């Protein structure tokens, strides 16, 4: 038994128990084939304890992401499907087991005995980077791996649930795509409604439309053409959601390609659903024949949008 030596780990309790784990056990046959087949991590099936679902995560050659090489790593993970709202924390006391098949006892590891660990949306996994040295585990005389078979287990006791308040998650978009939509408006001089909408178009998994006020809106009423990019379905946004985007609006010059444009970055939401200008362009300048904005009583407007991120309450 000279190989039965463990590296010291702070606040880790190691003990021996005759009783099997109360909540879950997993038997692995031909354990060596995990490493032979380059299985760096094995996740057990789910089990229930304390009203939540859990699973074990085993690294047979050590958790390489943490630089562990000479130990087996074992963790308790709160599984998908557990009723954990992002604003909740679950404090649980847990113990992880490995069977000594020679003695029919269990080596038990417990972190910070009696205090438990906080499981929440940002930290769903706790356990032991250095659960047992591989040299110790692989020696059949120690009883943990016999005939290439081993048994692990867990027991979990939920001791406290805590509501930590509201959460917001901002998800930024890497390599955001530029979306462009062009809209032709005919018979401009005959437009008699206050506002006209383009067909809806998709950008960043959301629906958008261009809005045109041919005789202006608010401060531009009667003197300017007003132009906006707006959410086509703002009522479908979850409460508290915000979309950050770069927006460019243009009235196209059909003769010289000297477009009249405006740019902005903007946070869209169900209450701030449009970006643009009441005084986008004066009606006098727009109607001048040499500008190329209105040709044969038709004009072209264009919206360009890059969605950079979205924030949601959780």
Quick check: is 2 in a domain?
no
Q: How far apart are CA 166 and CA 287, in angstroms?
A: 52
> Is 5 inside a domain boundary?
no
User: pLDDT exceeding 70 applies to what percent of the chain?
Assistant: 91
Q: How confident is the model at residue 310 (pLDDT cuts 50, 70, 90)?
A: very high
Q: Are residues 119 and 186 in the same domain?
A: no
| Shared domain check, 88 and 173 | no
Residue 268 tokens read as: 């869209």
Buried b (16+ CB within 10 A) or exposed e, 96-113: bbbbbbeeebbbbbbbee
Q: How far is CA 238 from CA 107, 144, 266, in A?
A: 49, 52, 18
pLDDT for 237 equals 87
- Mean of pLDDT values over 111-135: 86
Residue 291 shares a structural domain with residue 248: yes
Let me know if 235 is exposed, middle or buried by CB neighbors in 10 A (0-12, 13-18, 19+). exposed
Q: Please report the pLDDT score of residue 89 as a whole number.
A: 81
Same domain, 156 and 199: no
Average pLDDT, whole number, for the chain? 89
Predicted confidence (pLDDT) at residue 145 exceeds the cutoff of 80: yes
pLDDT higher at 168 or 314: 168
290 within a domain of the structure (yes/no): yes
Question: Are residues 130 and 203 both part of a single domain?
Answer: no
Give me the pLDDT at residue 36, please. Answer: 87
- Assign residue 267 the CATH number of its domain: 2.60.210.10
The count of structural domains within the chain is 2
Give the pLDDT score at 82.
60
Q: Is 257 domain-assigned?
A: yes
Q: Is residue 213 included in any domain, yes or no?
A: yes
Does 20 have pLDDT greater than 70? yes
Any domain includes 3: no
DSSP state for residue 7 in the 8-state scheme: -
Confidence of residue 161 (pLDDT cuts 50, 70, 90): low
Q: Which of 163, 181, 199 is the last residue of a domain?
A: 163
Residues 36 and 57 in one domain: yes
**Structure confidence at residue 121 (pLDDT):** 78
Q: Are residues 177 and 54 in the same domain?
A: no
- For the cut 50, the answer to whether the pLDDT of residue 94 exceeds it is yes
- On the question of pLDDT at 10 being above 60, the answer is no
In a domain, 182, yes or no: yes
pLDDT, position 7: 46
Mean pLDDT, residues 219-243: 93
**Which pLDDT does position 87 carry in this prediction?**
62
One domain, residues 151 and 194: no
Domain ends where: 107, 129, 163? 163
Q: How confident is the model at residue 126 (pLDDT cuts 50, 70, 90)?
A: very high
Q: Are residues 122 and 182 in the same domain?
A: no
* Confidence check: pLDDT of 282 > 80: yes
**pLDDT score, position 159:** 81
What confidence score (pLDDT) does residue 275 get?
A: 96
The verdict on 98 and 210 lying in the same domain is: no
List the domain range (segments joined by +) for residue 76.
12-163
Q: Report pLDDT digits (tens) over 224-235.
A: 999 999 999 998
Tell whether 186 and 274 lie within a shared domain: yes
Average pLDDT over residues 176-199: 96
Domain final position from 163, 183, 204: 163
Sorting pLDDT into bands at 50, 70 and 90, what band is 80? Answer: confident
| pLDDT value of position 265 | 94
Does 4 fall in a domain?
A: no
CA distance 200 to 198: 6
Give the residue with greater pLDDT, 115 vs 198.
198
Which of 64-68, 161-165, 212-216 is the least confident region? 161-165
Same domain, 215 and 89: no
Q: What is the pLDDT of residue 97?
A: 95
């Amino acid at each position: 038994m000279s190989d039965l030596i463990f590296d010291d780990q702070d606040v880790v309790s190691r003990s021996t128990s005759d009783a099997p784990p109360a909540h879950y056990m997993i038997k692995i046959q031909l354990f060596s084939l995990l490493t032979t087949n380059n299985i760096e991590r094995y996740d057990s099936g789910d089990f229930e304890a304390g009203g939540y679902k859990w699973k074990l995560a085993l690294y047979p050659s050590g958790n390489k992401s943490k630089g562990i090489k000479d130990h087996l790593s074992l963790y308790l993970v709160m599984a998908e499907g557990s009723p954990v709202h992002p604003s909740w924390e679950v404090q649980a006391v847990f113990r992880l087991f490995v069977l000594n098949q020679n003695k029919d006892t269990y080596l038990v590891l417990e972190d910070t005995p009696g205090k438990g660990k906080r499981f929440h949306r940002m930290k769903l996994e706790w356990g032991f980077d250095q659960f047992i040295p591989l040299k110790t585990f692989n020696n059949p005389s120690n009883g943990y791996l016999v005939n290439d078979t081993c048994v692990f287990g867990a027991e979990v006791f939920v001791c406290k649930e805590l509501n930590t308040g509201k959460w917001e998650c901002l998800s930024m978009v890497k390599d955001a795509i530029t979306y462009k939509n062009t809209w032709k408006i005919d018979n401009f001089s005959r437009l008699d409604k206050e506002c006209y909408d383009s067909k809806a178009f998709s950008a960043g998994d959301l629906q958008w439309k261009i809005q045109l006020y041919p005789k202006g809106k608010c401060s531009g009423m009667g003197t300017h053409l007003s132009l906006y990019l707006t959410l086509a379905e703002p009522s479908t946004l979850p409460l508290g959601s915000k979309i950050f985007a770069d927006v460019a609006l243009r009235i196209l010059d059909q003769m010289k390609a000297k477009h009249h444009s405006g740019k902005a970055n903007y946070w869209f939401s169900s209450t701030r659903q449009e970006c643009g200008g009441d005084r986008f362009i004066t009606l006098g300048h727009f109607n001048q024949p040499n500008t190329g904005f209105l040709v044969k009583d038709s004009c072209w407007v264009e919206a360009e949008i890059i969605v950079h991120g979205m924030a949601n309450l959780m």
